[in-house]
Structure 1
Amino acid sequence: MLAKFQILILCCLLLTETEAMAVKSLPEMRADFLRAEKLIRTDQDAEYFKLADSLTDYALYPYLHYQWLKKNLDQNKAIEDFLLAHHETRYAGLLKNLWLRQLAKHKNWTELIKHYRSSSSAELQCNYYRAKYNTGQKKTALVAAKKLWVVGHSQPANCDPLFDVLMKSKYFTRDMVWRRFQAALGKGRVQLANYVKGLMGKKDRAAAELWLKVHREPQLVKKPDWHQGYRQAGLIFAHAVERIDRKNSIKAAEVWDQHKDKYTIPQYRVDQIERRLALGLAFRRDARAYSRLEKLNKSDQAVREWRVRAALTEQHWPHVAAALDKLDVKEKQQANWQYWRARSYDQDGKHQQALQLFNQLAGDRSFYGFLSAYKLNQEIRIGDRPISVSATEIAELASHKDFQMIEELRAIDRNQEAKRQWWYAVSRLKKNDILVAAKLAQHWQWDQVAIFTIAKAKYWDDVDLRFPVKYLDQVKVNARLHELDPAIVFGLIRRESAFNEKARSPVGARGLMQIMPRTGRQIARDLKEQWRSAQSLFNPEVNVKYGTYYYKKLLQQFNGHYALAAAAYNAGPHRVEGWLPDENAVAADIWIETIPFKETRAYVSAVLTYALIYQQRMQRNMLKIKDFMRDILPN
Structure 2
Amino acid sequence: MRQQYVQAQQLFDSGKLGEARALTRQLESYPLYPYLAYRELMSGLGGLKKPSLENFQKRYPDFPLQKDLYSSWLNYLVGAKRWKDFAYASDDQKLSANLSCWRAFALYQLKRNSDADALTKDLWLSGKSQPDTCDAPFNTFKSRKKLTQNLIEERMILALSEDESGLAKYLAKQLSGSTKAHAEAMIALSEHPETVSKYIEALKKRPGKIVTDYYVDTLKQYGRAEPEAALAIATHHGQKLFASDKEKNETVDYLLGRLAIKAPDRYLAATKQYQRPAEDDDAQRVLRYWLGSSNWPMVKATIATLPKDLQAEERWKYWEARSLGETGNDLQARTLFTELAKERSFYGYASAQRLGLPYQLNHQPLPVSSERQREVMGIPAIARAVELRILDQEWQSRREWYRALDNMPREQKVAAARLADQWGWYFVSIFTMAKAAYWDDVQVRFPMAYSQDFVAAAQNVALDPDWVIAISRQESAFRYDANSPVGARGLMQLMPATAKHTIRKFNLPDASLQDLYNPDINIKIGSHYLSEVNSTFSNNRILATAAYNAGPSRVSRWLNERGQLPADIWIETIPFNETRKYVQNVLTYAVIYQKKLGRAPELIKPSEMQLTRNVASNSP
TM-score range, shorter chain: 0.7 to 0.9
Partner AA of 2:499 in structure 1: G
| Residues 105-254 of structure 1: pairs in structure 2 closer than 5 A | 106-109=81-84, 112-113=87-88, 116-117=91-92, 119=94, 121-123=96-98, 126=101, 142=117, 145-146=120-121, 148-165=123-140, 172=147, 177=152, 180-181=155-156, 184=159, 189=164, 191-201=166-176, 242=221, 252-253=225-226
Which is further off, 367-376 or 64-73? Answer: 64-73
Identity among equivalent pairs (%)? 32
Which SS does the other structure have where 2:449 is aligned?
Answer: coil
Confirm or deny: 8 A CA contact 2:223 2:229 kept in the other structure. no
For the residues of structure 2 that align with 1:326 and 1:162, how far apart are their CA atoms?
55
Quote the offset at 1:505 in angstroms: 0.9
For the residues of structure 1 that align with 2:552 and 2:162, how far apart are their CA atoms?
29
Partner AA of 1:58 in structure 2: Y
Matched, 1:31 2:3: yes
TM-score calculated relative to the size of structure 1: 0.79
**Structure 1 residues 409 and 368, CA, compared in 2 at 3 Å: closer, same or farther?**
same
Confirm or deny: 8 A CA contact 2:34 2:60 kept in the other structure. yes
**Cross-structure match for 1:445:** 424
**Structure 1 residues 517 and 204, CA, compared in 2 at 3 Å: closer, same or farther?**
farther
**Structure 1 residues 186 and 480, CA, compared in 2 at 3 Å: closer, same or farther?**
farther
Could you report, residue by residue, the CA deviation over 1:432-483 in whole angstroms, capped at 9, with x for unpaired residues? 0111111111122110010010011111111111111122233223222322
**Cross-structure match for 1:87:** 61
Confirm or deny: 8 A CA contact 1:503 1:514 kept in the other structure. yes
Quote the offset at 1:612 in angstroms: 0.8
**Cross-structure match for 1:54:** 26
Which SS does the other structure have where 1:380 is aligned?
Answer: coil
For the residues of structure 1 that align with 2:431 and 2:102, how far apart are their CA atoms?
36
**Cross-structure match for 1:248:** none
Partner AA of 1:476 in structure 2: V
For the residues of structure 2 that align with 1:489 and 1:451, how far apart are their CA atoms?
18
**Cross-structure match for 2:353:** 374
Could you report, residue by residue, the CA deviation over 1:346-365 in whole angstroms, capped at 9, with x for unpaired residues? 34444433333222221111
**Cross-structure match for 2:15:** 43
Which SS does the other structure have where 1:74 is aligned?
Answer: helix
* Unpaired stretches in structure 2, ≥5 consecutive residues: 204-210, 615-620
For the residues of structure 1 that align with 2:419 and 2:189, how far apart are their CA atoms?
58
Residue 555 (structure 2) aligned to one of 559, 576, 589: 576
| Residues 366-515 of structure 1: pairs in structure 2 closer than 5 A | 366-515=345-494
For the residues of structure 2 that align with 1:578 and 1:351, how far apart are their CA atoms?
35
For the residues of structure 2 that align with 1:350 and 1:128, how far apart are their CA atoms?
70
**Structure 1 residues 209 and 329, CA, compared in 2 at 3 Å: closer, same or farther?**
same
Quote the offset at 1:416 in angstroms: 0.9
**Cross-structure match for 1:587:** 566
Number of aligned positions between the proteins: 593
Confirm or deny: 8 A CA contact 1:563 1:628 kept in the other structure. no
**Structure 1 residues 616 and 599, CA, compared in 2 at 3 Å: closer, same or farther?**
same
Partner AA of 2:128 in structure 1: H
**Structure 1 residues 349 and 169, CA, compared in 2 at 3 Å: closer, same or farther?**
farther
**Structure 1 residues 348 and 466, CA, compared in 2 at 3 Å: closer, same or farther?**
same
Confirm or deny: 8 A CA contact 1:66 1:95 kept in the other structure. yes
The RMSD of aligned alpha carbons is: 4.2
For the residues of structure 1 that align with 2:508 and 2:605, how far apart are their CA atoms?
37
Quote the offset at 1:283 in angstroms: 5.1
Confirm or deny: 8 A CA contact 2:421 2:444 kept in the other structure. yes
Which SS does the other structure have where 1:445 is aligned?
Answer: coil
For the residues of structure 2 that align with 1:75 and 1:307, how far apart are their CA atoms?
64
Could you report, residue by residue, the CA deviation over 1:540-593 in whole angstroms, capped at 9, with x for unpaired residues? 233222222222332333343322222221122333344446354333323333
For the residues of structure 1 that align with 2:249 and 2:146, how far apart are their CA atoms?
30
Partner AA of 2:502 in structure 1: I
Confirm or deny: 8 A CA contact 2:481 2:489 kept in the other structure. yes
Quote the offset at 1:329 in angstroms: 5.0
**Cross-structure match for 1:75:** 47
**Cross-structure match for 1:535:** 514
Which SS does the other structure have where 2:600 is aligned?
Answer: coil
Residue 563 (structure 1) aligned to one of 533, 536, 542: 542
Partner AA of 2:450 in structure 1: Y
Which is further off, 597-606 or 201-210? Answer: 201-210
For the residues of structure 2 that align with 1:309 and 1:168, how far apart are their CA atoms?
60
For the residues of structure 2 that align with 1:320 and 1:311, how far apart are their CA atoms?
6
Matched, 1:355 2:334: yes
Quote the offset at 1:492 in angstroms: 0.3
| Residues 341-352 of structure 1: pairs in structure 2 closer than 5 A | 341-352=320-331
